[in-house]
Structure 1
């Protein structure tokens, strides 16, 4: 299947935003996606993941049959679950190491490091059972649930798309009470990323990926209206976020805007966040398709594309690098020199994430050279 470079670039951009956003006093976190609209990189990551599932599913099913597609995504669910468990161990071990060398950090909860070394079997078991989802990795728990149910839900979506989306919307509307039924380590109810809410965005992505050749031409007939509506939604969301950032002086504006949108709840995926990511998706996919295609072919676009293609390896790398970057940031002074230092740290961790992904993608090449060198000795 031919890769869409702009999708890889956007997946890489989402991972960079996730990494930088989890460095609390970093500089570049002030210019990430979440600063300009009401959604953030999590929505982008989940939507693109669903889109790729839809694209790959129809290709595999057409070539090898439905059972092959079902088996493929069950295996993928296992791989993501394994990445969740191994990532949780690495996260806690790295956090422990940083504390041992007196490097404080707040990107990840300090008790994970204690639990891993005080009760390693219990820590691994609670993560493996998904009774606990360590922060920075909790979106992977959501992804596991989406993928493990895909062998049932995706065929339903492909066979009866309107009925499937009606069920998905109904589940989304009941997301909070349903999530409260899930036993969990957190003091609050259910999983942090409410799977009953976020499943709607994931399956919208699956539907767009599977039926993109039918959906896009149909939507293009109303392209001008959709573009105007999408720009309007995003301008409204920009007004909301700017009012938040201004704070007290814009309190009256924030209150007036809130009368329109009600409340915003990331964890159950409220309606405004959902509308905003869909509006942005339309603009990127249709009116701005050519500029994004051009960006994907620039040096930075290709680097982001490699991060996106790194998949789970890139995700775990971005988690560990966000902890490291946070620890480095906390050592910087609170003056202009410290600002420049934190900016340099942000750039360094982004570059390190790209290097990590690039090495992973080229692993067969450089591992082959190493094996060949040892074989000749």
Structure 2
């Protein structure tokens, strides 16, 4: 399947934003997606993942048949589950190492570093059973559950799209009580990323990928109207964010906006976050399609695309660099005089992220000679 470079770039951008957002005192986190909209990189990552699932399913089913597509995504669910376990082990061990080196960090809970040393089997078992999802990796737990349903849900969607949409909306409406039924290590009910809420966004992405050849000609007939609506939604979203950042002086505005939107809950994916990411998707896919294609062909765009193509490997690297960056930031004395040092740390981490992803994507060229040299070939 021919890759869409702009999608890889956006996926890489989402991963970089996730890394920076998990560094509490970083500098560049003030420029990430969450500072300009009511949604953040998590929504972008899940929507793009769903879109790619829809595209890949259609291609594989047309070429090899439906059973092949079902097997492929069952294997993918297993890969994501294994990545969750491996990532949790690496996260805990790296956190323990940093504490051993007296490098404090807050990006992950300190208990993981203790449990991996004192109760390694119990720690791995609780992660493998998904009774516990270490923070920074909890979106992978969500992804495991969503991908595991794909062999059943996507054929259902392809056969009865409107019924599938109705079921998805109903599950989304009942998301909070359904999530409360999932046994979990957290003091709150269910998984942090509520799978019954976030499935709405994921399967919206799947539908976009699977039906895009049928949907887009219809939507383009109303392109001007949809663009104006999308711009309005995004401006409204930006107003909410700006009012919250201003704080007390803008409290009347925030209260008025809250009467319109209600609570804006990330973890169950409320309507405002859902509609805002859909509006942004339209703007990127239609009126800004050419500028984004141009950006994807630039050096920074290609670097982000390499990160995006790294898939699960890039996600695990993103988590590790988040912890490392947080620890480095906490070694810098507070104060505006040291702002440039924290900025340098952020830039170094983004660069390191690209270098690691680029090396991984080129592993077929350097890994065999290295194995031969080490006598492992």
Aligned residue in 2 for 1:80: 80
Q: For 2:208 and 2:246, how far apart are their aligned partners in 1?
A: 36
Aligned residue in 1 for 2:15: 15
Aligned residue in 2 for 1:278: 278
Q: For 2:71 and 2:337, how far apart are their aligned partners in 1?
A: 54
Aligned residue in 2 for 1:30: 30
The alpha carbon displacement at 1:373 in A equals 4.4
Q: For 1:225 and 1:263, how far apart are their aligned partners in 2?
A: 28
Aligned to 1:236, the other structure's residue is in SS state: helix
Aligned residue in 1 for 2:225: 225
The alpha carbon displacement at 1:370 in A equals 2.0
Q: For 2:341 and 2:119, how far apart are their aligned partners in 1?
A: 37
Aligned residue in 1 for 2:162: 162
Aligned residue in 2 for 1:247: 247
The alpha carbon displacement at 1:333 in A equals 1.6
Q: Which runs of 5+ in 2 are unaligned?
A: none
Q: What CA deviation, in whole Å up to 9, does each residue of 1:219-247 have, x standing for no partner? A: 00110110000000000000000001011
Q: What CA deviation, in whole Å up to 9, does each residue of 1:270-293 have, x standing for no partner? A: 000000000000000011000000
Aligned residue in 1 for 2:316: 316
Q: For 2:204 and 2:116, how far apart are their aligned partners in 1?
A: 37
Q: For 1:244 and 1:372, how far apart are their aligned partners in 2?
A: 57
Aligned length: 377
Distance 1:233 1:113, change over 3 A: same
Aligned to 2:218, the other structure's residue is in SS state: helix
Q: What CA deviation, in whole Å up to 9, does each residue of 1:17-55 have, x standing for no partner? A: 000000000000011000000000000000000000000
Aligned to 2:62, the other structure's residue is in SS state: helix
Q: For 2:259 and 2:89, how far apart are their aligned partners in 1?
A: 44
Aligned residue in 2 for 1:367: 367
The alpha carbon displacement at 1:337 in A equals 3.3
Distance 1:83 1:374, change over 3 A: closer
1:1-377 equivalent positions in 2, closer than 5 A:
1-373=1-373
Aligned to 1:268, the other structure's residue is in SS state: coil
Aligned to 2:266, the other structure's residue is in SS state: coil
The alpha carbon displacement at 1:336 in A equals 2.9
Q: For 1:317 and 1:197, how far apart are their aligned partners in 2?
A: 27
Q: TM-score of the superposition, structure 1-length normalised?
A: 0.99
Q: For 2:163 and 2:288, how far apart are their aligned partners in 1?
A: 31
Q: For 2:13 and 2:337, how far apart are their aligned partners in 1?
A: 27
